Structure 1
Amino acid sequence: MYQMDIKMLSYGDLNETVYMEQPPGYVAQGEKQRMVCKLKKAIYGLKQSPRAWFDKFSRIIGEFGFSRCQADHSVFVQTTTSGMVVLAVYVDDILITGSDLVGIEEAKTYLQKHFVTKDLGRPRPDISFAVGLVSQFMDKPRLVHWEAALRMLKYIKASPGKGLLFKRHGHVKIEAYSDADYAGAEDDRKSTSGYCTYVGGNLVTWRSKKQTTVARSSAEVEYRAMAHTTSEI
């Protein structure tokens, strides 16, 4: 499984005629001050932008041999002689997986030719908790936080082959697990909850997040974690 990020809003083509006021700093003085701008592309904040982007993406990926899944229109499937490639789209984030490794690389190369993409590599659920913890100190980082970030980078470099491996277990049973600590944050006494869900014995979603309120008991913390897990299912 691989992740990609695409700059989406600069690619949508508008089917309607849309005008906008001149942005600050662009306003021409004199008679042109009352003029407006005619949009040639979808931009951020325009309600048509997500639809325009998805329509163009669907057309381009369809030209490469992908077909849209009837059960979920944000999932595209390509059948090859060596297996299949599955591509899932969520706004501008893309997940690519499948049994044809060559087909996956070809799909990534094809997307990079048509869009400005960022290859995020394989998902690393093993560092999600550490990344979330260090990210809490981005406003005022200290030396200890910098050292922790460097340690994570060393760990990633030393384990390049780690990732998600999907195996066939003969069933598609859905399982979910949740857990939480109690008042683990020393600065605000908030708790951290987490969950992971499995489909057919394979990990598909996971999350670790500090709770927004201060709990009065460990039971309350566990119930909140269980509620978040249930919402994910």
Structure 2
Amino acid sequence: MHPSPGYHHPPHKVCRLRRALYGLKQAPRAWFAKFSSVVAQQGLVSSSYDSALFLRTTDNDTILILLYVDDMIITGDDISGIRALQSFLSQNFEMKDLGTLSYFLGLEVTSSNDSYYLSQAKYVSDLLSRAGLTDSKTASNPLETNVKLLTTDGEPLSDATLYRQLVGSLIYLTITRPDIAYAVHLVSQFMSAPRSTHYAAVLHILRYVKGTMFYGIHFSSHSSLELRAYSDADWVGDPTDRRSTTRYCFLLGTSLISWCSKKQSVVARPSTEAEYRALADTTYELLWLRWLLSDMGVSHSISSPIYCDNRSVIQIAHNDVFHEHTNTYRD
């Protein structure tokens, strides 16, 4: 370990390393700085809208690297450039090439000539084993009809560890399962003091997941690149604090690429306020997606519609100039 610059030390001496950098708070920053400097030598730069995405775009080809700690996905349309990049990275880091993408951080990727399919079947199987529901019956929906979970219902759990583990795992499962996003959003609100009714709701979600283990997300290569959004909000839906829930989803052509179910930060007095707060959150996400897609070479010169309960608000986001047009529709 070489001494820090500016530190006076005897010549031909080095510092003794008492603790490895890996595992310290400084480790993520040091690793990201090292990786960024290495790939920059190959012309890849970090995206302004997702720092874990590195890209090199020219008029003829594109190379993308998606980094998660020390795991990465390399893709693009420049095959020779990707091979040269892999060789270069192998010279700077200890690497293992796992071949064509099929499994990444619990996500199973199945590809064909015209589509990709993402699922988490193995992850679900492990989750059900941890919960002890391998031989349990299944459920037809994530939540029972008109269920309302309160902080005072049921008996407090003597040990909340399993509840928190299961809910945390279900949150990760929503990466490919938007159908359980709202149900998981509800049970995640009781992590600090879960009760028996909350645990029963988690088990109900798991029984539904067991019966739909192979559900996932489908991305078609024949889909258009038109970006559109759907926004909605319930009004004072939480019986405890009377706050509303924002819900939105985004489609790129026919492919679902982003979704959210999140409680609003304040109590909306009229229902219109709840709708407009949801619309504002949807607009933030829309702008970020447009900028991110533009970074990846997918520009949108036309407007992107946001469909609400009874109207469509069309925002044009081009060169930071926004125009709004409202049309009325029926549900």
TM range (shorter): 0.5 to 0.7
**Mapping 1:29-178, distance limit 5 Å:** 40-46=20-26, 49-54=27-32, 72=47, 74-75=52-53, 88-89=66-67, 92=69, 103-105=100-102, 123-178=176-231
Equivalent residue, structure 2, for 1:4: none
Work out which structure has the larger RCO, using CA pairs closer than 8 Å and 6 or more positions apart in sequence: 1
Cα-to-partner distance string for 1:141-166 (whole Å, 9 max, x where unaligned): 22211111111112222212111110
Change (3 A) 1:164 1:38: same
Superposed, 1:194-213 pairs within 5 Å as 194-213=247-266
- Structure 1 distance, partners of 2:71, 2:247, is 23
Change (3 A) 1:106 1:71: same
Gap regions ≥5 residues in structure 1: 1-13, 19-36, 78-84, 110-118
CA RMSD of the aligned region, Å?
4.1
Q: Is the 8 A contact 1:87 1:94 kept in 2?
A: no
Amino acid at match of 1:53: W
Q: TM-score, normalised by structure 1?
A: 0.60
Q: Secondary structure at the match of 2:29?
A: helix
CA 71–58 in structure 1, closer or farther in 2 if over 3 Å, else same: closer
Cα deviation, residue 16, structure 1: 7.6
42 and 230 in structure 1: CA distance in 2 versus 1, 3 angstrom threshold = same
CA distance in 1, matches of 2:201, 2:223: 40
Aligned pairs, how many?
Answer: 177
TM-score of the superposition, structure 2-length normalised? 0.44
Q: Where does structure 2 lack aligned partners over 5 or more consecutive residues?
A: 6-16, 56-62, 76-97, 107-122, 124-171, 287-331
Confirm whether residue 232 of structure 1 aligns to residue 285 of structure 2.
Answer: yes
- 1:126 Cα shift? 1.3
CA distance in 1, matches of 2:70, 2:251: 21
1:154 and 1:97 map into 2 onto residues whose CA distance is 36
